[in-house]
């Protein structure tokens, strides 16, 4: 009985010494008003201290919203990032341009071409956001959001790392291959073989940029669906960005 008590005490002591994960910070809703008067809505999660932190901007898939990144938020904030979880124009809450209502279903190729510009605008505006070290920025995108962040990263020297979930050689007018000629920093490409187009895209982009890294799954679906089908990917992204994006 005494031996059992000692074992229980040892287990209790070990449990109490495990570092507690910080709770997800309460987000602050932010409106980024673009040069063409589109209100981009995002939630900003800032670690609960007075320090300046590297920031990560998240760009979701076509037809989806920022809610798709819920599982990634806590790993990123626990890793010390300010996280900007954005609704792309014409999606979610980012549907107002003055009195005009935006709907991605009605977008022209010129409208889709604005997505990388929107990401660049948000990155510029982060210089004035509390707690952000705007010289250390990273981007995570899924599907058309992946294409948009690769293109944007090639045009902003403060972007230190990019994670692209299921990019495509061409989604509407957005083609990331050309941007890679100007982007020479860490790039993580993720795809699943049951998403054939993106899987082929990742292998081609990786052959174009031999310094990029890949995570390839046999199954898992498209874009942010992989964050659900492969839950370990959330922590893997946060760990990778901690090394590459700081």
> Which has the closest alpha carbon to 162: 185, 192, 130, 196?
185
Q: So what's the pLDDT on residue 130?
A: 87
Lowest mean pLDDT among 6-20, 95-109, 211-225: 6-20
> Which of residues 40 and 4 earns the better pLDDT score?
40
- Is the four-CA dihedral 223, 224, 228, 234 of positive or negative sign? positive
pLDDT band at 48; cut points 50, 70, 90:
confident
Give ∠ CA 118-206-179 in degrees, rounded to 5: 35
Q: What's the mean per-residue pLDDT of the chain? A: 91
Where would I find the H helices in the chain?
2-17, 70-78, 109-112, 114-125, 144-153, 196-208, 225-229, 232-244
Residue range 146-190, pLDDT digits in tens: 999 999 999 999 999 999 999 999 999 999 999 999 999 999 999
Residue range 101-153, pLDDT digits in tens: 999 999 999 999 999 999 999 999 999 898 999 999 999 999 999 999 999 99
pTM equals 0.90
Q: Is 227 helix (H, G, I), strand (E, B) or coil?
A: helix
Domains assigned to the chain: 25-244 (3.40.50.1820)
């Amino acid at each position: 009985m005494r031996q059992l008590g000692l074992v229980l005490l040892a287990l209790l002591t070990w449990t109490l010494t495990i570092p507690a994960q910080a709770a997800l910070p309460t987000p602050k809703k932010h409106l980024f008003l673009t040069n063409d008067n589109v209100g981009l809505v995002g939630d900003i999660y800032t670690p609960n201290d007075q320090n300046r932190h590297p920031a990560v901007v998240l760009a979701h898939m076509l037809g989806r919203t920022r809610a798709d990144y819920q599982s990634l938020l806590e790993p990123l904030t626990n890793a010390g990032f300010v996280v900007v979880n954005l609704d792309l124009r014409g999606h979610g809450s980012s549907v107002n341009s003055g009195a005009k209502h935006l709907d991605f279903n009605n977008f022209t190729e010129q409208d889709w071409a604005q997505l990388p510009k929107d990401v660049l605008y948000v990155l510029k505006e982060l210089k004035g956001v509390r707690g952000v070290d705007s010289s250390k920025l990273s981007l995570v995108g899924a599907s058309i959001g992946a294409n948009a962040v690769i293109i944007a990263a090639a045009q902003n020297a403060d972007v230190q790392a990019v994670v692209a979930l299921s990019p495509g050689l061409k989604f509407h007018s957005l083609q990331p291959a050309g941007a890679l000629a100007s982007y020479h920093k860490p790039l993580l490409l993720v795809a699943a073989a049951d998403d054939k187009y993106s899987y082929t895209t990742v292998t081609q982009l990786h052959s174009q940029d031999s310094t990029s890294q890949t995570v390839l799954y046999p199954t898992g679906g498209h874009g942010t669906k992989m964050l659900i089908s492969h839950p370990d990917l959330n922590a893997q992204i946060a760990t990778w960005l901690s090394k590459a994006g700081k």
